[in-house]
Amino acid sequence: MENNKEKHQSEIGMIGLGVMGRNLLYNLADHGFQVAGYDNDLSKVNALIDESRQKKIQSASNIKDFLDLLRQPRAVIMLVPAGAPVDSVINDLISYMKPGDLIIDAGNSYFKDTDLRIRRLAENGIQFMGIGISGGEEGARQGASIMPGGNKESWDRVRPLFEAVAAKVNNIPCATWLGQGSAGHFVKMAHNGIEYAIMQLISESYDFMKRGLNISDDQLADIFKEWNNGELNSYLIEITGNIFRKTDEKTGKRVIDEILDVARQKGTGMWTSQSAMELQVPIPTIDAAVSMRDLSAFENQRETASKVFYMPVKQLKGDQKILIGQLHNALYCAMILSYAQGFALLTAASSSYSYRFDLEAIAGIWRGGCIIRAAMLENIKDAFCTRPDLPNLLLNHTLSKKVIENQEPLRQIVRLAADSGIPLTAFMSTLSYLDAYRSSWLPANLIQAQRDYFGAHTYERIDAKGTFHTEWIEKKNS
């Protein structure tokens, strides 16, 4: 550990020494980079000093000394909570930074904030990049999926460092420049939206098995472990299996059964839904996942309503093994449909915000390090390799075939859940998305007619071009 002795030594600095920031620093240092860390919480600086005695890590206890440790032009990564803390760090930095310096926001910032910050800092000649990083603590330490956006030359400057700390798939780093401006933070937001959807689908699968089939935690652990060895192979399925196995030191029971049924969130899922609404892209599975986290927080109302609408979950009848097999296939189908929605959002953003995304590259860097890494991303990557402008993954032959093969189990699981009273909100929304997407006719003609009826909004016809209006009410002769 070198403490403030050598000036202008470090290639990059990290502001924010929470566990993610520290792990990313250690990862960079392990790859031979000289790095420096700073946090306005002195205890975190001290923790860094204690933990990294053998490493090439410098540190400082004030921002000016910290910036003096960095080679010029300086490059600083910040890993702080989204929102006001990001602006507060920028405000601290701005008076010491010079034209040509680079600030990288590696947190989960809202993409529109990133665009504003890029413009604001450009006025001072300072480059600003939004880089999404996924993989949690372990990813930051062992290899993450890295989603950079912003100025391409700035990326080229820091690329070797980020490629070094990225997860590797077939020896290729999961880190690729994704586009100008807030491209990286938009992609990270969509990643988190998909993350919400898959987490909700897995939780509903748990509910189906726990309350519908009386499956024990041990059996659940075995089932998810087995699922992870097949088509469902993914990080989220893997950790779910491990969760059911974990015993609580305090009570000796399973930890999962001691956890309150209220899901917290920091907002990226909600931003995904809001952005999709703005871009007019349907992503109902992600919307359902956000709503169900929101609904879980109404614990007192749920408690009251459970008495008002008293109806115990009906046990599911039938061969348990067959039902679990159908659930597996339904989940597989719903996961494909969740990725399809997330990528459809990226497609719309690509043109609306001029990001010009390479969707094959995005699928590529999501194969390793990130929370939504999954075997099926190979098929998704291939789909965009075959047709880069594919408007929806459901129009790819391989993936549509998989959906067709598994749609009946999805329908069956939804049917059973509706009958037994198990809330499979995300599964139901996913099935409706599929049914609506494959409908060559939808009842939107009636909506057109209603709008024209009450507001003379006009409508389009199937037999002629243009807009039309009907006098829906016979005028009474006066």
86 is written with which tokens? 């990001």
Q: Shortest distance, CB of residue 28 to ligand 6PG, whole angstroms? A: 18
Q: 34 or 268, CB closer to ligand 6PG?
A: 268
194 in contact with ligand 6PG (CB under 6 A): no
Rg (CA), the chain: 25
Q: How far is the CB of 132 from ligand 6PG (least distance, A)?
A: 8
Question: Where does this chain touch ligand 6PG (CB under 6 A) — which range of 6-14, 30-38, 262-270, 458-466?
Answer: 262-270
Beta carbons of 14 and 79 less than 8 angstroms apart: yes
Q: Pick the catalytic residue: 11, 44, 56, 195?
A: 195
**Integer Cα distance of 130 and 190 in angstroms:** 14
Nearer to ligand 6PG, 192 or 347 (CB): 192
Per-residue contact string for residues 342-381; x = within reach of ligand 6PG by CB under 6 A:
----------------------------xx----------
Pick 151 or 192: Cβ nearer ligand 6PG: 192
What count of other Cβ atoms lies within 10 Å of the Cβ of residue 473?
Answer: 7
Least CB distance to ligand 6PG at residue 23 (A): 12
Which one among 266, 302, 438, 461 touches ligand 6PG, defined by CB under 6 A? 266
In the complex, least distance from residue 269 CB atom to ligand 6PG, rounded to whole angstroms:
6
The tokens of 439 are what? Answer: 């409908």
User: Is residue 73 reached through a cis peptide bond, with omega within 30 degrees of 0 on the bond before it?
Assistant: yes
Please report the sign of the dihedral spanned by the C-alpha atoms of residue 166, residue 170, residue 172, residue 178.
negative
Q: Binding segment for ligand 6PG among 92-100, 134-142, 251-259, 294-302 (CB under 6 A)?
A: 134-142
On whether the CB atoms of residues 38 and 45 are closer than 8 A, the answer is yes
Instruction: Tell me the window of 31-39, 231-239, 261-269, 306-314 that interacts with ligand 6PG (CB under 6 A).
Output: 261-269
Cβ contact 337:394 at 8 Å: yes
Q: Which of 180, 265, 296, 412 binds ligand 6PG (CB under 6 A)?
A: 265
Q: Do the beta carbons of residue 12 and residue 76 sit within 8 Å?
A: yes
For ligand 6PG, the binding residues in 89-118 under the rule CB under 6 A are 108
CA separation, residue 390 to residues 373, 377, 396, 397, 413 (Å) = 21, 15, 8, 11, 30
Residue 2: active-site member: no
Counting Cβ atoms within 10 Å, is residue 12 exposed (0-12), middle (13-18) or buried (19+)? buried
What are the Cα distances from residue 472, in Å, to 153, 393, 468? 61, 41, 12
Task: Specify the stretch interacting with ligand 6PG by CB under 6 A; choose among 97-105, 179-187, 241-249, 264-272.
Answer: 264-272
Residue 443 C-beta: closest distance to ligand 6PG, Å: 35
Asked if residue 192 binds ligand 6PG (CB under 6 A), the reply is yes
First-residue to last-residue Cα distance in the chain: 94
Q: Which residue has the CB atom at the shortest distance from ligand 6PG?
A: 134
For ligand 6PG, which residue of 115, 195, 238, 360 counts as binding (CB under 6 A)?
Answer: 195
Q: Which C-beta is closer to ligand 6PG: that of 172 or that of 263? A: 263
For the record, the structure tokens of 12 come out as: 């990059």
- Asked whether position 135 contacts ligand 6PG by CB under 6 A, the answer is yes
Q: Which is nearer to ligand 6PG, 373 or 402 (CB)?
A: 373
Give me the residues paired with residue 38 across strands: 15
Q: Which is nearer to ligand 6PG, 253 or 266 (CB)?
A: 266
Closest contact distance (angstroms) between CB of 191 and ligand 6PG is: 6
Q: How far is the CB of 195 from ligand 6PG (least distance, A)?
A: 5
Residue 45 or 236: the one with the smaller Cβ distance to ligand 6PG is 236
User: Which of 11, 44, 56, 188 is the catalytic position?
Assistant: 188
C-beta separation of 143 from 344 below 8 A: no
Rounded to whole angstroms, the Cα distance separating 349 from 189 reads: 12
Which residues pair with residue 76 across a beta bridge? 13, 103
Identity of the residue, 239 or 375, whose beta carbon is nearer to ligand 6PG in the bound complex: 239
- Amino acid (1-letter code) at residue 162: F
Distances (CA, A) of 337 to 19, 39, 251, 262, 326: 33, 41, 39, 26, 16
Q: Which of 58, 134, 182, 396 binds ligand 6PG (CB under 6 A)?
A: 134
Active site residue 138: no
- Residue 276 parent element (H or E): helix 268-279
* Residue 103: strand pairing partners: 76, 128
Sequence-ordered list of residues with C-beta below 8 angstroms from that of 400, at least 6 positions apart, any chain: 394
- CB closer to ligand 6PG out of 192 and 200: 192
The interface mask with ligand 6PG, positions 33-62, x = CB under 6 A, is ------------------------------
Residues that bind ligand 6PG in the complex, under the rule CB under 6 A: 108, 134-136, 192, 195, 265-266, 268-269, 370-371
| Active site (catalytic) residues | 188, 195
